[in-house]
Structure 1
Amino acid sequence: MLSRTAANLYWTGRYVERADFLSRLLDATARLAALPTTYGGDPAAWSGVLAAAGAAEAFAAAQGEASEAAVVRFLTVDPANPSAICTCVEHARGNARAVRTGLTREAWEAINAAWHEVQRLRQQDPVKAEVREFTEAVQRAVAAFDGAAQRTMLRDDAYWFLQLGAAVERADNTARLLDVKYHLLLPKDEPVGGSLDYFQWSTILRTVSAATAYRWVYRDAIKPWLVADLLIFNDRMPRSLACCYDTVVELLDYLSAGTGRRGPAHRLASRIQLQLRESGVEQVFASGLHEFIEAFIVDNNRLGVAIAEQFAF
């Protein structure tokens, strides 16, 4: 496969995953911000969503104060934000269009339909319109593309590069979400285990569609260390760091099968996978969750660079 084709497919996967994550993040934040303060409502929720999206600095430079209206617009339709949901879908469609022959008709029609849906939503003001309507429409469009790709694409390099991009992006999103909650969201005068703390951890579970999984696995009230265990180490949880890296290593193995050679990306991904398998939540909390997540994000970014270099993107 040509390196340019591989890059287009890889970035299609990343942009689709990013659009899905941002829509889930906005939906969960809107629910949290709507609660009365006495029941866990968080007045700083919209600042937190910018941090989780990695857009705090860009927003401050362009907008200033993090009001609900400004944050929602910035993360959904603002052309000044390169990671806005609409921009992500446009980039995903542009990359997919460049490799149209590498996708099945169903997969292409799904991503093209997602783009048309986003263009329709873009004509509305997502603040005046129901934010949930916007985010649910994006999630449906992304699910349609994922389903079409999984059900119709041949298991070859095209499919593997598409899924590799999604897995790397998903790991980054989960890690940032955990780090923002633990390190930034809870105000200094709020107790750990209080109502605000509880609803913030609940919001994280909703953002990654893990609330039901949490109840099935732990059968306990929501506790920070158990949420962290689920989203870092539980390899049965699709958005956990462990599951993402099991997928990354498997996909890199598939891609190397034709040559029989493993490159720098394989070695780095295998090292991260081994670290996740040999660590535990007690060890992570003892040494610092923020430090662990920060190191993981750095390694995940290094893996992205290594993949680009190994496959000459």
Structure 2
Amino acid sequence: MLSRTADHLFWMARYTERAENTARMLDANYQLSLLPQSDEYAELGWRAMLSISELSGIYSAAHHGMKSREVIDFMARDISNPSSIVSCLRAARENARAVRSSTNSELWESLNTTWLDCQRMLADGILEREPYTFFEWVKFRSHLSRGVQLGTLVKDDAFYFMRLGTFIERADNTARILDVKFEMMEQRADTAAQPFDYHHWTAVLGSVSGFEVYRRVYRDVITPERVAGLLILYGEWPRSLAASIAEVELLIGHVTKGRDTEAARLAAQLSAELKNGRIGDILKGGLHAYLVDFLARVNDLAGRVSREFLLPIAPEEPPAPEQTQSQTQSQTQSQSQTLSKG
């Protein structure tokens, strides 16, 4: 497969997954903002969410406060924000348009309809009236896109690169959600926090569709340690770090056809550590330090995938004039992620 085609497919899937994860974070924060709490803690929640995506600087440059409506608008439909839901859905659609011959009409129609309906819904004011309805819709459209991939596409290199983008993005986002939410709780000075803590961790689990999974696995009260264990090490649940990296390892094996590459080595090493990890050891060494190291290694792994299979992150020559806008967007996003997350 041409590296240009693989690059489009990889980033199409990453942008779709990123739109879903942004919707999940916004929904969790919005639900928490409805609970009785101090203005300072409510603001901390929105700041933490911007920190997850490393967008605090961009937001602060254009806004002077941390009002919930302004943050939701910035993260959902602000086109100046490259990680907003609108920006991600547009980029996913443009990348899909560039490689229509490598997928099928069902997938194209799914992504194109998502983009068109998103514009219509926002123009109708759904974000102001029912933001939670919009967030659920974004999650549903992401699920639909993956369902079309699994149900209609041949399992060839095109399929594997799409799935690879999905699970690299998912691992990155799950780690960021967990890191920032734990940091929020550490900064909470309210001594009578127990009732609120329950809703906080319920929202965290809900943001990654993990509440029912937690109840099924632990059948007990929600504790921070168990939440961390579920999100990091529970390999039977597809949104955990262990499951995401195990899938990345498998997909790289399909793409390389068993050849020994640096990306394959890094994925295998990280997957083995997660399979054999213990949450007690992770917490003893410091959860924040562990997740920072994990994010750096995932970013390194994504960079290796780009160098070995996709377009160069930093091309030696400027792109040709006829290069599509979507390709420029995907390369720019790749460069910014490497610089900001490395």
Q: Same fold (TM over 0.5)?
A: yes
Residue 239 in structure 1 maps to residue 239 in structure 2: yes
For residue 307 of structure 1, what is the amino acid of its counterpart? Answer: V
State the distance in 2 between where 1:46 and 1:126 align: 20
TM-score (norm 2): 0.86
State the distance in 2 between where 1:97 and 1:107 align: 10
Aligned counterpart, 2:275? 277
State the distance in 1 between where 2:27 and 2:188 align: 25
Aligned counterpart, 1:12? 12
State the distance in 2 between where 1:226 and 1:192 align: 21
State the distance in 1 between where 2:249 and 2:189 align: 42
For residue 172 of structure 1, what is the amino acid of its counterpart? Answer: D
State the distance in 2 between where 1:120 and 1:267 align: 45
State the distance in 2 between where 1:268 and 1:98 align: 30
For residue 217 of structure 2, what is the amino acid of its counterpart? Answer: V
Residue 264 in structure 1 maps to residue 262 in structure 2: yes
Q: Retained in 2: the 8 A contact 1:14–1:165?
A: yes
State the distance in 2 between where 1:270 and 1:174 align: 19
**CA-CA distance at 1:45 after TM superposition:** 2.3
**CA-CA distance at 1:123 after TM superposition:** 1.8
| Number of equivalenced pairs | 309
Q: Retained in 2: the 8 A contact 1:13–1:92?
A: yes
Aligned counterpart, 2:194? 194
Q: Retained in 1: the 8 A contact 2:168–2:248?
A: yes
**CA-CA distance at 1:237 after TM superposition:** 1.1
- Is 136-145 or 221-230 further displaced after alignment? 136-145
**CA-CA distance at 1:217 after TM superposition:** 0.2
State the distance in 1 between where 2:81 and 2:221 align: 38
The 1:138/1:188 distance shift into structure 2, 3 A limit, reads closer
Aligned counterpart, 1:56? 56
Q: Retained in 2: the 8 A contact 1:86–1:122?
A: no
State the distance in 2 between where 1:55 and 1:140 align: 25
**CA-CA distance at 1:193 after TM superposition:** 6.6
Residue 26 in structure 1 maps to residue 12 in structure 2: no
State the distance in 1 between where 2:150 and 2:54 align: 29
Q: Unmatched 5+ residue regions in structure 1?
A: none
Q: Retained in 2: the 8 A contact 1:21–1:173?
A: yes
Residue 138 in structure 1 maps to residue 142 in structure 2: no
State the distance in 2 between where 1:204 and 1:126 align: 24
Aligned counterpart, 2:314? none
Q: Retained in 2: the 8 A contact 1:69–1:127?
A: no
Please identify runs of 4+ aligned residues in structure 1 that moved more than 6 A.
none
State the distance in 1 between where 2:13 and 2:236 align: 21
Aligned counterpart, 2:213? 213
- Is 91-100 or 271-280 further displaced after alignment? 271-280
State the distance in 1 between where 2:191 and 2:8 align: 46
Deviations 1:210-234 (A, max 9, x none): 1000000000100001000000000
Deviations 1:125-162 (A, max 9, x none): 45522111211221222121111111000000001000
Deviations 1:191-222 (A, max 9, x none): 49722322221111000001000000000100
| 2:20 match: secondary structure | helix
For residue 30 of structure 2, what is the amino acid of its counterpart? Answer: A
Aligned ranges 1:61-140 → 2 under 5 Å: 61-125=61-125, 127-140=127-140
TM-score (norm 1): 0.94
| 2:187 match: secondary structure | coil
Q: Retained in 1: the 8 A contact 2:43–2:67?
A: no
The 1:56/1:281 distance shift into structure 2, 3 A limit, reads same
**CA-CA distance at 1:37 after TM superposition:** 2.6
State the distance in 2 between where 1:253 and 1:170 align: 19
Aligned counterpart, 1:287? 285
CA RMSD across the alignment = 1.7
**CA-CA distance at 1:107 after TM superposition:** 1.1
